[in-house]
Amino acid sequence: MRTWLFSLFALVVPLGCAVPSNFPSQEELYDEPRDFNRFAVFSHGREVIGGQVNAGGVLGLDVNLGRYTDADDHALRGHVYGRLVDMRVEGDRVSGLASSLPFELAIARDERVVTARGLVYGRKVEVAMSDERARVVLGQCELDLGRRGQVYVGRRQCDGRWQPEEVELQVGRGFASWSDAERMSALSLMLFLD
């Protein structure tokens, strides 16, 4: 009896595991095409933070940042990494609180580069972005990224040590309707990965 069951099992199991030749690959089944309207940071091949960007703000699992553009109330408000954010935008300056800590940025634009300098979460920040490069200094960490297609790719350094894995920054086309001050403020908040 055991021999008969074993023979039946040995015959049925391979038949049940057979895969038709036209069966889709893992990539076709599970990989989704990248949505370049989203903001996203990738490290170790996975998304660390991301969100859909549009004229009204950024919305994702770790970010819910609203953009207010009324003449008497130009601001960015919401939550980033679970921290409350309330910032007032006045021309090329943004000030307020992020997680009850000071947020102060001054934004400047020259012919090719937009630069933001100041305090985010009470720590010194400098962000410089052009079409070719993005350099970000956030407290004790630094990102040095070069443009590769529609994303910036490079490495991260913290406390003087370069991390071995690549970091990828996808800014998101949705930021096109935002002012430099709004965009650089939102990016500086969301790029704090420590």
pLDDT (tens digit per residue) in 90-123 = 999 999 999 999 999 999 999 999 999 999 998 9
Residue type present at position 171: V
Provide the domain limits for residue 123: 35-190
Instruction: Choose the weakest-confidence range: 18-32, 93-107, 132-146, 153-167.
Output: 18-32
Residue 45: what pLDDT? 78
- What CA–CA distance (Å, rounded) separates 42 from 146? 14
Examine residue 81 and state whether it is found in any structural domain, yes or no. Answer: yes
What pLDDT band is residue 25 in, cutting at 50, 70 and 90? low
Examine residue 27 and state whether it is found in any structural domain, yes or no. Answer: no
- What CA–CA distance (Å, rounded) separates 5 from 121? 67
- What CA–CA distance (Å, rounded) separates 62 from 133? 25
Residue 31: what pLDDT? 63
Examine residue 2 and state whether it is found in any structural domain, yes or no. Answer: no
Based on the structure, what is the number of domains in the chain?
1
